[in-house]
Amino acid sequence: MKKLFVLLALVALAAIGAHANPFEYNWQELAPGVWGGIRQDPFELPQEGNSLFVVGDQGVIVFDAGGSPAMGESIVAKVRSITDKPITHVIISHWHGDHMRGLQAITAAFPRVVIVAHPHTREWIVNTQDRWLKRRVNMVPGIRKAVSSALEKQQDASGRPLIAEEKAWLEKGLSITDQLDRENNRTAYVIPNATFTDRMTLHLGAREVQLIHPPNSHTAGDVILWLPQEKIVATGDIVTGPIPLMQNPWTHDYAAVLGQIKALEFKTLVPGHGLVLHDAQYVDLLIELFQTAAAQMKSLVSKGLSKDNAIAKLDLTTVERKFTHGDAFLTNRFRDYVISSLPEAAYLAETGAEVKESF
């Protein structure tokens, strides 16, 4: 397993700066008529979620629409290069913008498309669209200022010395801010027009597509796509690699949700970010991460420690090494994406407090 994660890390780092166009997927045919759109470098700026589409007898189902009109356009272009059938459904895995802001390109190409999401996801898309329109005005100027400052000071946003890999990552991100600004300014929110609360099955002729809403994990509105015949699962951001991306994780049931995904006995897993997986090793590592955090926090809370002290004492060093194997760039990402949020989330779960998702 160690070799697997080292390889993932090397692939991710080697891809930094490799693409002239940051708004593109590497398309892979995962099974006949099933295509995965994968960002080969999951940390490339701007970060964009993976996508997947399934070709049926009468139409095409897309899972996640990318985070910009350009990514949505690339999905439309790939579908049209494969089939003359229309996109009939788009499934949104959760409300985060890097998985749904490409919808306008798909609806422009296929106006009759049905956009499916969990009600929680639809509600957040509705409630955040005005804030997004305001935020996008200052987003790129803010990025330019922060990245330029980091490069000038040779320190990252957390005050750490700027390592070579991180410098290259930031410089590449800075180089595409004009493109990002153009994409932001032409983005219009599209609201899902269909919802389901538990399970939904779509039939594409002989091909069955199952949509599953698990217990709260990455968000309270996550949706998984499962192809039982092909044994392909797309998880959205419930699974992300090679480092978990966590904003406000619902840790109480997260390990159990990952266990449900593993129990599908999938042959192929398309994560929300990261490379396609063909076994459950990485899912097992994610389960270990959440179980470790929960067990430690249970002990710390039982000793009567305050929230701040309990969070400070939670130690994920051992499991962190299993994700990073000492790689400095991945270690920084683990600390930025996991250590910054998981300890507090574990405390909230252990004390019965509700996670507050944030935009």
Q: Which tokens in the block code for residue 249?
A: 């994780």
- pLDDT tens, residue by residue, 60-85: 999 999 999 999 999 999 999 999 99
- pLDDT tens, residue by residue, 291-304: 999 999 999 999 99
SS3 call for 153: helix
CATH 3.60.15.10 fits 2-123+189-284, yes or no: yes
- pLDDT tens, residue by residue, 182-201: 999 999 999 999 999 999 99
- Which residues are paired to 117 by β-bridges? 195
DSSP string, 157-203: TTS-B--HHHHHHHHHHHHTHHHHHHHHHT------SEE-SSEEEEE
In the chain, where are the structural domains located?
2-123+189-284, 290-350
**Which conformational region is residue 265 in: left (phi greater than 0), alpha (psi within -120 to 50 degrees), or beta?**
left
Residue that the structure tokens 């599953």 belong to: 212
pLDDT value at 323 more than 70: yes
**β-pairing, 207-212 with 199-204?**
antiparallel
- Of the listed ranges 43-47, 129-133, 214-218, the least confidently predicted one is 43-47
Q: Does an H or E element contain 225, and which?
A: strand 224-227
Contact 235, 276 (CB under 8 A): no
φ, ψ (nearest 5 deg) of residue 112: -95, 10
- Which residues are paired to 62 by β-bridges? 53, 90
pLDDT value at 2 more than 50: no
